[in-house]
């Protein structure tokens, strides 16, 4: 459903997802269950963390570069692809990121797990910013990554979700990287109670998504895609599947918004909330299925609870 207009995305949600038919329709180039760059990059970040027993940006940068050199990245955006190829050519990770004004959501979509690996908010912020810089040098991208990580951290706490306090907490930390992103996140509260159709119309009317005319749904610009993902979670914080449906039905960069909203919801509700039949279908060209991903996540959790560290 990536890059489809709202009416197509909504039809997919209504006719396939809500009717329990998700596994009956696949991408024309891949079997059902093949995940995209969102999950691939998050996985590679975890693999680097596991191997180094902590965060080491050069290690993660190398793994990103290899994905592209080996032709394995599925659906990656221009900004991430360009940065990864520069790294492969020998450019240092601190200089490889695509410069402003490019501000895609590619570094935010992979940041969720940082919210549970780094319980200290400022350590989490630093790592989110550094992993963002590898591919995206615009501060709005760093702010988006911080926002996703913080949202996951708050969701994982398992407390009652109050939209006003939740959004303010996320916005405050994101604003330390970029004030405009923090302001946009705070603004979600004004439309959080609207139904999805009205909410999407409001997003476009206030000009939050300048890429709307090309994407029709929510674009890959980091600010609106983060805001819509937060909206999708806050609309149904205790219903994983409904959160995904809301993230997808708006159209546009649906795989990324579903990945972000799903990460927040999954952090709150746990593995048992995920549909097991669909989990069993997860694959990356025949490898790295659900069991392997779960083992990796648990291994990283063990590192975080033990000797995990942050390296520059």
Give residue-wise pLDDT tens across range 53-76: 999 999 999 999 999 999 999 989
pLDDT for 200: 95
3-12 burial: b if 16+ Cβ within 10 Å, else e: bbebeebbeb
Long-range contacts of 99-102 (CB under 8 A, 24+ apart): 99/137, 99/138, 100/137, 100/138, 100/139, 101/138, 102/78, 102/136, 102/138
pLDDT tops 70 at residue 307: no
Share of the chain above pLDDT 90, in %: 89
Could you list the beta-strand ranges (E) of 43-116: 54-55
pLDDT for 204: 93
Band of residue 213 on the pLDDT scale cut at 50, 70, 90: confident
Band of residue 43 on the pLDDT scale cut at 50, 70, 90: very high
Nearest alpha-carbon partner for 109 in 288, 262, 259, 246: 259
**236 vs 307, more confident:** 236
pLDDT for 62: 98
Question: What is the DSSP secondary structure assignment for residue 17, as one 8-state letter?
Answer: I
**67 vs 26, more confident:** 67
Residue range 16-45: mean pLDDT, rounded: 88
* Domains detected in the chain: 6-17+102-289 (1.10.4080.10)
pLDDT for 50: 97
pLDDT for 1: 58
The continuous run of DSSP H or E covering 259 comes out as: helix 254-269
pLDDT tops 60 at residue 257: yes
Residue range 39-66: mean pLDDT, rounded: 97
Residue range 108-132: mean pLDDT, rounded: 97
pLDDT tops 90 at residue 212: no
pLDDT tops 90 at residue 197: yes
pLDDT tops 90 at residue 83: yes
pLDDT for 309: 55
pLDDT tops 90 at residue 2: no
Band of residue 211 on the pLDDT scale cut at 50, 70, 90: confident
* Residue that is written with structure tokens 């501060």 in the block: 139
pLDDT for 306: 87
Judged by average pLDDT, the poorest of 187-191, 214-218, 220-224, 292-296 is 214-218
This model's pTM is above 0.85: yes
**2 vs 266, more confident:** 266
Residue range 161-186: mean pLDDT, rounded: 98
Q: How far is CA 264 from CA 86, 141, 182, in A?
A: 31, 18, 18
Judged by average pLDDT, the poorest of 14-23, 40-49, 274-283 is 14-23
Indicate the length of the chain as a whole number: 312
């Amino acid at each position: 459903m990536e890059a489809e207009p709202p009416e197509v995305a909504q039809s997919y949600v209504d006719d396939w997802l809500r009717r329990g038919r998700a596994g009956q329709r696949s991408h024309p180039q891949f079997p059902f269950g093949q995940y995209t760059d969102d999950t691939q990059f998050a996985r590679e970040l975890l693999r680097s963390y596991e191997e180094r027993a902590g965060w080491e940006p050069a290690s993660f940068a190398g793994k990103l570069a290899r994905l592209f050199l080996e032709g394995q990245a599925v659906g990656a955006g221009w900004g991430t692809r360009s940065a990864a190829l520069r790294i492969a050519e020998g450019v240092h990770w601190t200089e490889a990121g695509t410069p402003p004004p490019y501000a895609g959501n590619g570094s935010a979509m992979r940041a969720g797990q940082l919210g549970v690996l780094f319980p200290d908010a400022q350590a989490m912020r630093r790592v989110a910013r550094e992993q963002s810089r590898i591919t995206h040098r615009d501060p709005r991208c760093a702010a988006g990554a911080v926002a996703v990580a913080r949202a996951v951290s708050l969701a994982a706490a398992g407390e009652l979700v109050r939209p006003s306090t939740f959004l303010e907490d996320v916005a405050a930390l994101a604003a330390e990287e970029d004030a405009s992103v923090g302001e946009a996140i705070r603004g979600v509260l004004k439309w959080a109670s609207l139904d999805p159709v009205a909410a999407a119309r409001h997003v476009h009317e206030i000009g939050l998504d300048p890429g709307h005319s090309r994407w029709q749904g929510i674009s890959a610009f980091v600010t609106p895609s983060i805001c819509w993902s937060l909206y999708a979670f806050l609309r149904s914080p205790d219903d994983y599947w409904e959160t995904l449906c809301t993230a997808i039905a708006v159209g546009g960069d649906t795989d990324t918004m579903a990945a972000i909203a799903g990460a927040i919801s999954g952090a709150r509700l746990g593995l048992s909330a995920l549909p097991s039949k669909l989990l069993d279908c997860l694959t990356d060209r025949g490898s790295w299925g659900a069991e392997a991903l779960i083992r990796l996540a648990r291994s990283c959790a063990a590192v975080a609870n033990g000797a995990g560290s942050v390296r520059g």
